[in-house]
Amino acid sequence: MTSIDPAEIAKFEAMAAEWWDPAGKFKPLHMMNPVRLDYIITQICAEFDRDRNGLRALKGLRILDIGCGGGLVSEPMARLGADVVGADAAEGNIAVAQVHADQQELAIDYRATTAESLRDDGETFDVVLALEIVEHVADPAAFIATCRDLVRPGGLVILSTINRTAKSFGAAIIGAEWIMRWLPRGTHDWQRFITPDELAQMSSGAGLAVADARGMVFNPITFGWKLSDRDLSVNYILTGRRET
C-alpha cells in the first residue's frame, strides 16, 4: 500500500530544478518558510523542553521531513542540530536537495522513498514533518496514520496544508497560479484541499492528540506572512502528539 499519487509526483519532478530559486516556481514557499519554521521550532522546543533561542536547540532529536522537496525545511532543522532524514518520492527533488546540502556542508540523510517504506523498514523519529503534502497524497487519512506510526510515543507530527474555502480558491489557485503565476496552472486541486476539522479528525483517528493549530496568513500589501490563532481560512498548520 502507498499513498503516492504518480500524477502529483510528476508535477513536482517537473519543477525540481527551481527549488532554491526564491523568485522561481517555489516563491510562495520561500516567502512562507520563515513563518513555518518559527511555528515548527517553537512547537518542538516546547514539547522537548529545549531553549528556543539555542544555536543547537534540536540536537539529539531525530526528525523526518516527509515530502521534503528541495530541503527548504530540512536544512534549517539540520543547522539547529537535529538528525534529519529528508524523504521524497520524487527522485529529482532528492537530487537537488542533496547537491544543495553538500554545498552548505550539511549532513542530511536524503532518500528517494515513501513514508510507507520507511515505516515498513521500522524507522522511528521524534518528530515527523509533513508540510504542504497532505493535499497531494492519494489517501490523506492513511498517510497521516503512517506518519503516526513513524513517530515515537511522546513525539510530534506537524502537518501543514490548505483549507477548502472560497477564499483559498481565490488565493491559492486564482491568485498564485492564474494571476501571479508563481506556480504552474494545475499545481493545486481545490477539491483535494482539507479543512481544519477534517485534518483534526484524521489525526485523532490515527491516534494523534491534536495539540495546536494555527493559520498562516498572507498580507498582499506587505507581502509578508504571519501566524494567526483565528484565521485558518487558507493556509494552516497543525501539531499532533503521539501519546502512546
Q: Is residue 87 part of a domain?
A: yes
| pLDDT for res 179 | 72
Is there a contact between 196 and 164 (Cβ–Cβ < 8 Å)?
Answer: no
pLDDT band at 82 (very low <50, low <70, confident <90, very high): very high
Mean pLDDT of the chain: 93
Instruction: Report yes or no on 72 lying in a domain.
Output: yes
Closest residue by Cα to residue 11 from 32, 26, 22: 26
Instruction: Kindly indicate the confidence band of residue 98, based on its pLDDT and cuts at 50, 70 and 90.
Output: very high
| Residue 12 predicted with pLDDT over 80 | no
Q: Which residues pair with 136 in a beta bridge?
A: none
Q: pLDDT tens for residues 14-43?
A: 777 789 999 888 888 999 999 999 999 999
**Any idea which residue has 494545475 for its cell?**
186
Q: How far is CA 116 from the centre of its chain?
A: 17
Q: Is residue 59 part of a domain?
A: yes
pLDDT on residue 213: 98
Cα separation of 94 and 20, whole Å? 13
Q: Is residue 1 part of a domain?
A: no
Is residue 67 assigned to a domain?
Answer: yes
Q: Is residue 170 part of a domain?
A: yes
Work out how many domains the chain is built from and give that number: 1
> Do the annotations mark residue 67 as ligand-binding?
yes
Domain that holds residue 155: 6-242
Q: Is 36 annotated as a binding residue?
A: yes
- Mean pLDDT throughout 144-148? 98
The pLDDT of residue 58: 98
- State the pLDDT at residue 28: 85
Neighbour count for residue 243 (Cβ, 10 Å): 11
**What single-letter DSSP state applies at residue 202?**
H
Across residues 34-56, what is the average pLDDT? Answer: 97
Report the pLDDT value the prediction gives residue 2, as an integer from 0 to 100.
Answer: 67
Q: What is the pLDDT of residue 198?
A: 98
| Residue 175 lies inside a defined structural domain of this protein | yes
Q: Was 131 annotated as part of a binding site?
A: yes
In tens, the pLDDT along 216-240 reads 999 988 889 999 999 999 999 999 9
Other residues' Cβ atoms within 10 Å of the Cβ of residue 241:
18
Alpha-helical regions (H) of 104-243: 115-120, 140-150, 166-168, 196-205
Q: Would the pLDDT of 78 be above 70?
A: yes
In a domain, 167, yes or no: yes
pTM value? 0.91
How confident is residue 61, by pLDDT bands cut at 50, 70 and 90?
Answer: very high
Q: What is the pLDDT of residue 1?
A: 57
CATH number at residue 138: 3.40.50.150
- 240 appears as a binding residue in the annotation: no
